[in-house]
A = this chain, B = another copy of it.
Amino acid sequence: MTAVTPALGEHELALHDRARAVIPGGMYGHMAVTSFSAAHPQFIVSGDGCRVTDADGREYLDLMSGWGPVVLGHRHPGVTAAVIDQLGHGDCLDGASPVAVDFAELLVDTVPSADWAMFCKNGTDATTTCVTTARAATGKRKVLVARGAYHGAVPWCSLRGAGVTDEDQAHLVHYDYNDLSSAEAAAAEAGDDLAAILVCPMRHDVKRDQELVDPAFARGLRALADRTGSVLIVDDVRCGFRLDLGGSWEPLGVRPDLTAWSKAIANGQALGAVTGIEALRDAARSIYVTGSFWYAAVPLAAGLATLTELRKGRALPDMVRTGQRLRDGLAQQAVAHGFEIRQTGPVQMPMLSFAGDEGFRLVTAWAEAAGERGVYLHPWHNWFLSAAHTDADIDDILDRTNDAFAALG
């Protein structure tokens, strides 16, 4: 039996009070812990490999990896060394650093659909730049997006209504993920005003099981874009650099015209990127996009170090092996404890749900029980493995999740 700790420690609770005074709701966005748990700490003080520590000194085995960015593990020595080395030269300078060229070259060398790259800060910067480029290239306006898909949290793509006007999303036309006929119907609705088809490499909407892409659907979208002269944009912000370094649809042989990257690109440093095909280079050049920190050298140096490490070829197979070990273990535990669960998505981006679990009550109780036993995972958002997880770490996690299943009984 793993130890069970009271839900929240005194330092955490003191921080809650302070935060509520100076931050709306005490925190916001996907990291507002009150939106998914009464037992998870809102504040994390440090991270090391696949472990994080809260304000009360409690250590958690980390299955969120900073919600995706930390693909090599927290404070990866190679990336940290690159960051500190670059800090010794400079970060936000008057012009781009040569490391921007180094990293653009490495991306172009790594990603078969990339003839060029541009850098930014957020995943939303990247998806917005893709859509703007596609509109500039085609002179058209409509963008097909999957119903419920997350492409960022700004008005043009927000899934929430507060503060968003109808006009912000006037040129989005919706289809259903993995339903090619719905995409074709959306394209027909867009008619001769179709600029782009925007799609995630798999369906990873929150609060529902993940769904891998049907290869025929991916090929069908590629053909639809070719037939209509529109731009196929893959939003690889969440999956990028965890499924295939060449792009998440590369194993299917489906190459996008534009790809949006962020999250794992620099192991946690703030960086996004857009890559594209030669035919869209002039359009990318024609639009005006920029940001004060888009050219900063330190995150680019971190990206260079991260991708260099990933290209050594061990990190992704390691995540697949440990992810499979986790999935197999959780499946056995669920059976042993008499629960019917579903585990969906690629094993290195796990998601677990309980059958018939209305309102996510059971999975939330299980996630909180896991949290109390020192495993940080999420009840209705996918998790992320990192290359820092070892088989022994997974076994340690499984000891604790087993007790969490038992606690539900």
Contact = CB atoms under 8 A, between A and B. Distances in A.
Contact of A66 (B93, B168, B269, B288): B93
B116 A24 contact: yes
Interface residues of A, number: 114
Interface in A134-180: 134-136, 141, 153-156, 158-160, 162-165, 167-168, 170-171
Copies of this chain held together in the complex: 2
Contacts of A88: 75
A122 B119 CA distance: 13
* Central interface residue in A30, A48, A64, A66, by most chain B CB within 10 Å: A66
A130 to B, nearest CB: 10
A104 interface: yes
A1 interface: no
Contacts of A242: none
A68 B92 CA distance: 9
Interface stretch (A293-301, A337-345, A351-359): A293-301
A268 B292 CA distance: 9
A111 B154 CA distance: 26
A44 interface: yes
A212 interface: no
A350 interface: no
A47 interface: yes
Contacts of A29: 288-291, 294-295
Given A69-B292, A133-B163, A167-B170, 16 more contacts: A22-B115, A22-B117, A24-B284, A28-B290, A29-B289, A29-B295, A31-B96, A31-B290, A42-B95, A43-B95, A45-B98, A75-B87, A122-B291, A128-B154, A132-B154, A154-B289
Contact of A96 (B27, B122, B132, B295): B27
* Central interface residue in A66, A117, A153, A291, by most chain B CB within 10 Å: A291
Nearest to A135: B163
Contacts of A46: 89-90, 93
Nearest to A125: B122
A28 B22 CA distance: 37
Given A87-B84, A171-B165, A288-B162, A23 B95 contact: no
A68 to B, nearest CB: 6
23 contacts: A15-B101, A23-B116, A23-B118, A24-B282, A43-B97, A47-B89, A62-B94, A67-B292, A83-B87, A91-B268, A91-B269, A92-B269, A123-B291, A133-B163, A136-B163, A141-B165, A154-B289, A156-B168, A159-B288, A160-B287, A262-B292, A268-B293, A269-B293
Interface in A220-257: 237
Contacts of A290: 28-31, 153
Given A91-B268, A93-B47, A22 B289 contact: no
Interface in A43-95: 43-48, 52, 54-55, 60, 62, 64-70, 74-75, 80, 83-84, 87-95
Contacts of A74: 90-91, 93
A323 interface: no
* Central interface residue in A156, A270, A287, by most chain B CB within 10 Å: A270
> 9 shortest A-B CB distances, which residue pairs?
A29-B290, A92-B268, A132-B163, A47-B90, A136-B163, A270-B293, A44-B93, A66-B92, A24-B285
Contacts of A100: 19, 23, 27
* Central interface residue in A95, A128, A284, by most chain B CB within 10 Å: A95
